[in-house]
Structure 1
Amino acid sequence: MSEKQRNSAMGMMVLAILLVALNLRPAISSIGPMLEPIRADLNLSNSEVSLLTAIPVFCMGLFAPLAVLFGRKFGLKRSIAILLLVIGSFTLVRGFFPTYPVLLASAFLIGLAIAIISPLLSAMIKRDFPMRTAALIGVFSFGMGLGATLSSGLTGVFYTIADWPLAIASWSLLSVVAVVIWLRVEQPTEVKAVKTGIEEIVRVSPWKSKRAWYMLLFFGCQSALFFSMLTWLAPIAIEKGMSVLAAGGVLTLMAAVQIAGNISIPLFFNKFPNRLGWIITVLASGTLGILLLMFGSLAVIWVAAAFIGVALGGLFPIALLMPLDETSSADEANSWTAMTQSGGYIISAFMPLIIGIVYDQTGNHDITLMMFLVFIIFMVVFAVLLNKKSESIPQDLTEKNL
C-alpha cells in the first residue's frame, strides 16, 4: 500500500470511528428535552418518564460484558455494524409507534447495543492503531460528546418543526451514514506486523485483577461525576439565583469545554505520557470548579462550569485508555474495557437518583457539592494505586510485549 493509500485509509478509519461514536448518545440524550411533551402526551408520571433515560444507562453497565462474546462470534467490524443498525432501527421505531411500551423496549435495546459497541470500538483501536490509541480514543470520546450535545440542543428545534416522535426518531439517520462509512473502511496495513486479533484467548481474566477493579471504580466515579453534573448543574445554578435560561447556558458552556477537552487533551498524551500527572491536573480543575460553585458569587458560576468542563473532558478519554494501556491484544482490551464499563456505568446510573433523594431530604445542594468532591477524592486514590503498580502486570503479558 502506498503512502497516499495508507493516509486515505487512516482518514477513512478516523471518520468511521467518529461517526460510530456520534451514534452512542443521541438516542438517550434526545429524550431529555422531550421529557415533558412525552409525559403530557402519554399521560405518564415523572418516575415513569424518567425510566426512558435511566434504563439505557443501566443497560450500558449491565450488558457491556457481552462485548467479549459478540467480538468472538461475529468479529469486531461486523458486530459494530450490526449494533449500529439496532440503534438506528429502534430509534426510528419510536417515530412510528410512539407508545410507552415501545419507548421502554427501545430504551432497553438501544442501551444494550451501546453497551456492547463501546468496548468493541476500543478493542479495534487497540488492534489496528496500537501506536495511536490516545489520539483515536480522543476522536472516540469527542464523537460521543458531540453527539450528546447536538441531540440535546437540536431535538428541541426539530420539535418546533414536527412532533416529538419525529424529533427523537430523526437521529436514526446518523446510524445509516455511520454504517455506510463503517462497512467501507479497510484496516491499514501499517498497523502491526503480527496481528493480535479478537480470536486470541484472554490469558488473564480482568475480574481476578486488582488493577482492573481500580479501573472499574475510577470509571464509575468519573461517569458518576459526569451524569450528576449533567443532571444537577443547572438546578444548582438556579438555586444560587440564576434564571432558567442562564442556567441552561452554564450547562451548555460546560458541555462545550468538555467536548473541546475530549479531542484536545488526548493529543498531548504521547508527548506527556504521565497518566497520573494528567489525572491530577484535570481533577484539580474540577475541584476548583466545585469550590467556586460552593463559595463563589453568581457570576463565578460561569467560570466554575468551564473548570468542570476541563475535568470532564480529560477524565473520560483517560478512563477509556486505562484498559488499553494495560493490555496487549484486542481481545484483552475488549475484556478489560467491558469489565470497567460494566461496573462503572452501573455505579453511575444510580448517582443522579441518590443526589435527587438527598436533595429532597435537605432542600439544598450543599451535600450534592460535597459528593462531587468525594468522587474526586476517590479518583485520586484509585489513580495513585494504579500508578504504584502494586499488582504487577502478569508475566505472560510482559513477555508478549518484549
Structure 2
Amino acid sequence: MKWMNRGEELNEYKAEKLEHEKFYVFGAGDIGRGLYVTLSFFGMFAGFIDNDVQKQKNGFYGQLVQSYQWFLENERDKTLIIAANEANEQEISRQLREDNCKFFLSGIFLNSVLPIYFFQKKNILFMNLAQICVTERCTLRCADCAHGCWAVDRNAKDMELEEIYVSADLFFSKIDYIHEFVLIGGEPLLYEHLKEAVEYIGEKYRNKMGTFSITSNGTILPDQALVDNCKKYRVLFRISNYVKAIPNLQGQYNKLEKIFLKEGVDYHFSKAEEVWWNYGFTDKLQEESEEQLIRKFDRCMTPCRETRNGKLYFCVMARTVSDNLGYHIGENDFLDLGLLPDDDLGRRILLEYNLGYSEKGYLEMCARCHGKDCRNYPVMAARQLR
C-alpha cells in the first residue's frame, strides 16, 4: 500500500471490537502455543480446542483441551482463532462457517487485527514477528534457500555484537510488545557471540516478547553456556527438519533432543520438510508496472520483519537475498527507526509501515519475487548444491 497521508492512514479505520473478549485457540500445537502465550499476557485466552483425543486427555502447556463439539455445546458465542497450517486451516474454516461460528485466521489476527486494536484502544504498539539475522553464513548449501545463504562465503563477516545490541535497543524502544522475536541466520549457531546476544536481549526485553526463539537447521549442538542462557530467558529452539533431503541429520536431531530434554530447554522440531517454494529470486528481473508490483506486495504481506542497525526491513528475505546475491537493489527499502519522532505521529508511522504502507507501496525486490504465487513453483526442500 502506498502512503497517501503518512501517519494518518488509519484515522477513519475502526478497530475490531475486542474489548472484554477472550478467545479460544483451535489447535493445540506450535502455532497455538505461541497464541496462548501472547493472549495470556493480555488476559485474552479462554482455552484450547482440538479434536485430538490424546491432547484432550493430557492437556497442552498445562491447559485443558476441549473438543470442538464441547465448544459448540458450551461456548459457541465466543470467538475462535484457527491455529493450524494452511492445509488444515481451510478445512477448519469451512466447518466453522457451516456452524456459523465467529473466527479469525491466526495470521490475519496477529498481523493486522491485534496491531490495530491494541494501538487504537490501548495505545500499545504490537507486532507479530521480527528477527535479527546474526550471520548470513550457513553450514548447509541449500539450492533454493530463501535467503540466498548458499552464496555466502564461510569466512564472511558476521554482525558485530554491538550492532546486535543497537538493533535490539532501537527496536524495543519503539515496540511495546512482539508476538515472537527471533535470532536467525544463515545458521545462528555459527555466530560466536550468540550466547551474549541471547543474554543481552533476554535480560532487557524478555518481558516485551511472547516468544523468544532461535531458528536453527540443527547441524550444530549448542554449548552449555548457550543452553543455560536459553533456559534462563525461556528461549524456544526451532529446528528446521531437513531429514528428507539429508537423512544423516536424524542422528544429530536425536542428540539435540536429548540435550533439550535433559536441560529443560523448550524446543520444536518442524515436520520433516519435503517441499519448499521457489520465490524466483534468481530469475531475471520481471517487467511489471507499479500497479502490478503494489498488487503483488499487497497479496503477499509477509510477516517477517528484520531489525538491523536501526533500520526496520519489511521483508527479511528481500534484504538478505539482495545482499547475499549481490543484487544491491532495494537498499533504501527500510524504515529508519532512529529518525522516527518520539511521539504519537512516530508511533502511527511505525504501525502503518508494519501493516504494509510505504512510499512506493512495494519493495524493489518484489520484481524478483513470485510473491504469493510462489506456491505455483514447488521445489525439493533443502536440496544441496555440490
Which of the two has greater helix per residue? Answer: 1
Which of the two has greater strand per residue? Answer: 2
**TM bin (shorter chain):** under 0.3
Provide the TM-score with structure 2 as the length reference.
Answer: 0.23
